[in-house]
């Protein structure tokens, strides 16, 4: 379907397909990697306090308080931090401002499916590099000419983690390229590459408050890197939308970084539930990949992934199935509450029997 009013490039776009957000509320929703636990009470209090007559005013265009909170938390300067309306917007500006070169951008063949969409949107050439037989990123494959590199770490949808040594290997092999490390799930079992920023001017680390800080509905993301990289993103942002983060989101973001105890508590609960789920799925005969995210990626040798997903849906449990080569037998299952995980295991036990 197209329209004569569309710009020419729109006709060839293949948009990203977001995870299903059903209207039905009494579902066990394990398909979009949302945190099963709500935001910190301090975040909710800060947002409530920010609801005032000041909403008639534009927010600070630089969201300076939010930047300062991120910089302080990670031991950086505010000049090394860029903030945006969710990490997807931050990534969009990154593609447009840092990855548009003559050589192709490199990323895995199985990874966050928004990456090729951005390339199509901004007319960026790209090349995908195959995961190995264990569905891990092969860092040696990135030792080739390129216009930039993207590493989702942990990778999505596999949940598998690269070590800091492996990331540093990619950085050192590509000193003339920007290496973007997309860390949407890093707080559930990995070590952030932010520790490498001051020694690698070509590193940009992207994170979000949607997952580990339970703020998917507030739309807050950020990037950290050398000030020259950040300046490019600021130039793009101010040519696109000078006020991407509203006053309520700024207040909530600052409070989220201030409540470290709540953050660690909810991450620990998710990690514990993930490990228990992997053990239970193994008992049921599933093949499970090691996960450092708030989801697991699994398959059963005797049942098609699409059929298992349909059977679970019939029991009001939604998981994510990808109709994609090499992974079409897998299910990606978000970690939920203990009660949700028990319902999932009971349902799978019934289906497999």
State the total domains in the chain: 2
Rounded to whole angstroms, the Cα distance separating 39 from 254 reads: 12
Residue 101: per-residue pLDDT: 96
pLDDT of residue 13: 83
Helices (H) and strands (E) in the chain, counts: 11, 12
Q: Which of 233, 259, 285 is the last residue in one of the domains?
A: 259
Supply the Cα-derived Rg of the chain in whole angstroms.
20
Would you put residue 210 in left (φ > 0), alpha (ψ -120 to 50) or beta? Answer: alpha
Query: Considering only CA atoms, which of 308, 294, 291 is closest in space to residue 349?
Result: 308
pLDDT at 11: 82
Q: How many CB atoms lie within 10 A of CB 340?
A: 19
Looking at the fold, whether 69 and 206 belong to one and the same domain comes out as yes
1 inside domain: no
Which letter does DSSP use for residue 182 in this model? Answer: E
CATH number, residue 303: 3.90.1150.10
Residues 250, 320 share a domain: no
Do 78 and 201 fall within a single domain?
A: yes
Residues 12 and 49 in one domain: no
Give residue 3's pLDDT: 86
The confidence score (pLDDT) of residue 9 equals 84
- Let me know whether 311 and 334 are in one domain: yes
Flag whether 2 is in a domain.
Answer: no
Tell me the whole-structure pTM to 2 decimals: 0.96
Whether 241 maps to a domain, the answer reads yes
Listed residues 223, 240, 259: the one ending a domain: 259
Phi-psi region of 137 (alpha: psi -120 to 50; beta: other; left: phi over 0): beta
Provide the pLDDT for residue 56. 97
Report phi then psi at 239, rounded to 5: -95, -5
Is the separation of the CB atoms in 108 and 129 below 8 Å?
Answer: yes
> Do 72 and 217 lie in a common domain?
yes
How many whole angstroms separate alpha carbon 212 and alpha carbon 293? 10
- Identify which of 102, 60, 99, 121 has the alpha carbon closest to the alpha carbon of residue 245: 60
Q: Please report, in tens digits, the pLDDT of each residue of the chain (353 residues total).
A: 778 888 888 888 888 777 777 777 778 999 999 999 999 999 999 999 999 999 999 999 999 999 999 999 999 999 999 999 999 999 999 999 999 999 999 999 999 999 999 999 999 999 999 999 999 999 999 999 999 999 999 999 999 999 999 999 999 999 999 999 999 999 999 999 999 999 999 999 999 999 999 999 999 999 999 999 999 999 999 999 999 999 999 999 999 999 999 999 999 999 999 999 999 999 999 999 999 999 999 999 999 999 999 999 999 999 999 999 999 999 999 999 999 999 999 999 999 98
Instruction: Determine the structural domain holding residue 17 and report its residue range.
Output: 8-38+261-352
Q: Is residue 111 part of a domain?
A: yes
Assess whether 155 and 240 both reside in one domain. yes
- Same domain as 273, residue 142: no
pLDDT of residue 341: 97
């Amino acid at each position: 379907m197209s329209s004569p009013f569309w710009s020419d490039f729109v006709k060839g776009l293949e948009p990203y397909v977001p995870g299903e957000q059903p209207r039905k509320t009494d579902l066990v929703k394990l398909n979009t990697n949302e945190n099963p636990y709500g935001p910190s009470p301090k975040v909710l209090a800060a947002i409530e306090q920010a609801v005032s007559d000041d909403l008639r005013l534009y927010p600070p265009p630089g969201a300076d308080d939010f930047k300062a909170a991120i910089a302080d938390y990670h031991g950086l300067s505010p000049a090394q931090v860029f903030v945006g309306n969710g990490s997807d917007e931050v990534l969009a500006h990154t593609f447009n401002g840092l990855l548009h070169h003559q050589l192709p951008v490199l990323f895995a063949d199985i990874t966050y499916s928004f990456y090729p969409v951005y390339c199509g949107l901004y007319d960026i050439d790209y090349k995908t590099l195959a995961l190995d037989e264990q569905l891990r990123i092969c860092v040696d494959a990135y030792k080739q000419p390129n216009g930039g590199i993207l590493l989702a770490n942990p990778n999505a949808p596999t949940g598998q983690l690269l070590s800091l040594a492996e990331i540093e290997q990619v950085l050192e092999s590509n000193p003339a390229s920007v290496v973007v490390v997309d860390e949407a799930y890093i707080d559930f079992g990995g070590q952030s590459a932010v520790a490498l920023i001051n020694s690698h001017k070509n590193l940009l680390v992207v994170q979000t408050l949607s997952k580990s800080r339970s703020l998917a509905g507030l739309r807050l993301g950020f990037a950290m890197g050398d000030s020259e990289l950040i300046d490019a993103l600021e130039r793009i942002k101010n040519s696109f939308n000078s006020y991407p983060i509203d006053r309520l989101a700024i207040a909530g973001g600052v409070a989220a970084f201030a409540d470290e105890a709540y953050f660690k508590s909810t991450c620990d609960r998710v990690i514990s539930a993930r490990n228990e789920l992997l053990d239970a799925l193994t008992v049921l005969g599933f093949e499970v990949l090691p996960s450092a995210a708030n989801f697991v990626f699994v398959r059963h040798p005797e049942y098609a992934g699409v059929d298992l997903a349909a059977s679970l849906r019939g029991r009001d449990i939604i998981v994510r199935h990808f109709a994609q080569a090499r992974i079409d037998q897998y299910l990606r299952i978000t970690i939920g509450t203990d009660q949700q995980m028990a319902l999932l295991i009971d349902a799978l036990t019934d289906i497999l029997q």
